[in-house]
Structure 1
């Protein structure tokens, strides 16, 4: 069985080409064509929400597909100013909603909101990348997680940023060898533990990020009982402490329920 890291590298070694191939797939191309042809017709929040196909495309692009049916909630997100600290979007602990509201900022920009490249090609690029991640995730969930982490790492500001995003938390907890039981601990203690074990600034360096994703992929495969990449040993004394035999055995026991 192919390892997670090998699958991840196959997808990312020429990411631009991989994304271009995904964009050219008929279902993706058809939805993109519809979006680009109709987004210019949108003049208001009502117009946007009124075109379900268009709205769903945009929601998928931001990883919010599970909320595409919640139009009342999204209407409130889009109808309040980002400048208002009390607005719903500023109270929701999820950056995806804020990014969505910034892109479709009808309150502060009116019709000009959908004239910007961010609301056109920017959304298309997001949609294609999101579709690629979802499709790869059907074959290996960890590959989707790794791609998502790679894409999101620039927005991580602290341990709390990681804890606020279940996908990011899964990657970090797996890579650092934290047991699932730790997720029930005090939030402040969890954040402190993450920041103690993980140099977040170093992850902005592509080489350090790659080392981290090697570790995540190998640890994931270890937990799943899949043969891990031998590359893991090359980085055991770098930016993160080595996992150690005891921890590896403990993780295997968690998997077996022992």
Structure 2
């Protein structure tokens, strides 16, 4: 897309700038020609789609459908996507419910091919629902081209409050966080865990996340993310720690280059002598 978000600073300062200019930047993004073409095609065609087979047969429709749920990379996995849609979500054994990434279940439920005798594609407000989600996700992707940490934060601000509002148990909520790489990255980093944390036993991860969340927020229940103040604190800690880690990585890389340059110079001098 031709749209390039303006983010003049990295870290928390950049995030606050993006927040202040969000509406203006979203408006500029919404006016981009590519997005408008995608939206026009979706509005024109989606009402005539009655089966999962129909949807996966139209690549442009499928692009929007998947993009609305952050599943863009599955655009070429048409057999898999068709199966996710056709099985639906009403039975725990359905494929979408067995996948760790819960976006598949949301995707299948939204279209309703496997859950209802008549899919939700025929509803008058269905295009608005999907296109709003698609536009938000694509804006986040555009932001990620400039600063991926900002994209992760935008995703967390959208998903964590929704997760907090669910009636599921603490454990289920934490497992949902762990099962989402973008959410896990933000929460793990904000709570001070290293990247290797994600490779540990899942039960141990849940226990550690609860303990750190309780220490930082006074609660071990992810419902705490329904509070904007807690979300802001999480975002601030994530961006500060991510920026620090990036700075350390740059310093180490520069130091390594200096050492290698010194070693090369010493070898060259030895050869001359």
Whether contact under 8 Å (2:65, 2:134) holds in the other structure is yes
Give the C-alpha shift of residue 182 in structure 1.
Answer: 2.3
Give the C-alpha shift of residue 181 in structure 1.
Answer: 2.4
What is the TM-score normalised by the length of structure 1?
Answer: 0.83
Whether contact under 8 Å (1:61, 1:130) holds in the other structure is yes
Q: Relative to structure 2, which stretch is displaced further, 199-208 or 134-143?
A: 199-208
CA 1:68–1:253: 2 relative to 1, 3 Å: closer
Whether 1:147 aligns to 2:151 is no
How many Å separate the matches in 2 of 1:10 and 1:116? 38
Q: Relative to structure 2, which stretch is displaced further, 31-40 or 118-127?
A: 118-127
Q: Relative to structure 2, which stretch is displaced further, 154-163 or 143-152?
A: 154-163
Q: Which has the larger radius of gyration?
A: 2
Q: How does 1:205-224 map to 2 (within 5 A)?
A: 205-224=227-246
* Runs of at least 5 residues in structure 2 that lack an aligned partner in the other structure: 1-7, 165-169, 214-218, 257-273
Q: Relative to structure 2, which stretch is displaced further, 27-36 or 150-159?
A: 150-159
Equivalent residue in structure 2 for 1:30, among 26, 29, 37: 37
How many Å separate the matches in 1 of 2:24 and 2:109? 29
How many Å separate the matches in 1 of 2:102 and 2:191? 24
Give the C-alpha shift of residue 215 in structure 1.
Answer: 1.1
Over aligned residues, Cα RMSD in angstroms? 2.2
**Which structure carries more relative contact order (alpha carbon 8 Å, separation 6+)?**
1
Where 1:63 maps in the other structure, the secondary structure is coil
Residue-by-residue CA offset, 1:193-226 (whole Å, 9 max, x unaligned): 111111422221012111210111111111111x
How many Å separate the matches in 2 of 1:172 and 1:118? 34
How many Å separate the matches in 2 of 1:217 and 1:64? 25
How many Å separate the matches in 1 of 2:183 and 2:20? 22
Where 2:193 maps in the other structure, the secondary structure is coil
Whether contact under 8 Å (2:46, 2:127) holds in the other structure is yes
Give the C-alpha shift of residue 254 in structure 1.
Answer: 11
Give the C-alpha shift of residue 16 in structure 1.
Answer: 4.2
How many Å separate the matches in 2 of 1:101 and 1:218? 36
How many Å separate the matches in 1 of 2:124 and 2:158? 19
CA 1:113–1:50: 2 relative to 1, 3 Å: same
Whether contact under 8 Å (2:68, 2:130) holds in the other structure is yes
Give the C-alpha shift of residue 14 in structure 1.
Answer: 5.2
Equivalent residue in structure 2 for 1:162, among 171, 177, 199: 177
Give the C-alpha shift of residue 118 in structure 1.
Answer: 6.2
Q: Relative to structure 2, which stretch is displaced further, 21-30 or 132-141?
A: 21-30
Where 1:201 maps in the other structure, the secondary structure is helix
Whether contact under 8 Å (1:133, 1:148) holds in the other structure is yes
How many Å separate the matches in 2 of 1:90 and 1:192? 24
How many Å separate the matches in 1 of 2:249 and 2:10? 21
1:172 matched to which residue of 2?
187
Q: Relative to structure 2, which stretch is displaced further, 197-206 or 16-25?
A: 16-25
How many Å separate the matches in 2 of 1:118 and 1:178? 42
How many Å separate the matches in 1 of 2:124 and 2:11? 35
Whether contact under 8 Å (1:94, 1:164) holds in the other structure is yes
What is the TM-score normalised by the length of structure 2?
Answer: 0.78
CA 1:2–1:110: 2 relative to 1, 3 Å: same
1:256 matched to which residue of 2?
252
**Count of residue correspondences:** 232
Give the C-alpha shift of residue 132 in structure 1.
Answer: 0.9
